[in-house]
Amino acid sequence: MNARNTILTAALALLAAAPARAAAFGLNLLTSEDIKASSFSSGTPVPEAVLSAMGDGETASYLADREPGAGSDDRAAAPGSESLGGDGTVKLYHQWHRETLEIRYRDERGRVIPEALARVRHFMRCRLTGREVEIPVKLLELIDAIQERHGGRTVTVICGYRSPELNGALASDSGGVAKKSLHMRGLAADIKVDGVRTSALRNTARSLLAGGVGYYPSDGFVHVDVGPVRSW
């Protein structure tokens, strides 16, 4: 068994294991630089066994995320962390982890709360491997602003950080998945809000001019990122 297959086998085992067991495998916290240097970031085809560990609905949602142009644009980087009009608190639900997180990430003086960012980082972890990356405050500001404009309703996250292994598997299964997706850098999230039309969510995200906005009405979610301003 070669090294790549060994990694994938371990990832699949972790997917079914309890959190404590996952920790025993040494799933480490990755930085953006670690990901950039990873050989998996090339989108090398990965065995279909990885995809088989995901439900049909989850696979469809992930495969829908195409991010046109984002993968080849070296300018794609998070803008500054200035407020977009949110109140410094986010209420989130992760569709695949089935976890809820309601947290204040800025204090009364507008300063970022490091402990809150650590919890968000864990919440946004890769569904397949359990790995984490730093999530920029700008992405939280964007989600916060969208939430505020829709009555403070909980935002459901379908996909936050996407590991190179997972992204490679999806790219090998569908030519539409960006091989260098901004999800792999912690700069993107696929979201929906119960009771809010996907088109309305798209319009709100576009109006903020804070990054990329992808509209997927058939799958019922909107992709938002803090890369260059663009839409599809």
Domain count, the chain: 1
Is 2 part of any domain? no
The dihedrals phi and psi of 149, each to the nearest 5 degrees, come to -75, -5
- The torsion of the CA quartet 105, 89, 181, 19, rounded to 10 degrees, works out to 70
Report yes or no on 52 lying in a domain.
yes
Residue 76 lies in a domain: yes
List per-residue pLDDT tens for the chain, 232 residues long: 554 444 444 444 444 443 433 333 333 344 434 434 443 333 433 344 444 444 444 444 444 455 554 433 333 333 444 568 899 999 999 999 999 999 999 999 999 999 999 999 999 999 999 999 999 999 999 999 999 999 999 999 999 999 999 888 877 665 556 777 899 999 999 999 999 999 999 999 999 999 999 999 999 999 999 999 999 9
Could you tell me if residue 125 is inside a domain? yes
CA dist 102 and 112 (Å) reads: 15
Nearest to 44 by CA among 91, 15, 3, 90: 3
| Range(s) of the domain holding residue 69 | 27-231
Q: Does some domain include residue 20? A: no
Examine residue 90 and state whether it is found in any structural domain, yes or no.
yes
In a domain, 183, yes or no: yes
Q: What local confidence, expressed as pLDDT, does residue 10 receive?
A: 44
pLDDT at 198: 98
User: CATH number, domain at 72?
Assistant: 3.30.1380.10
Coil, helix or strand at residue 59: helix
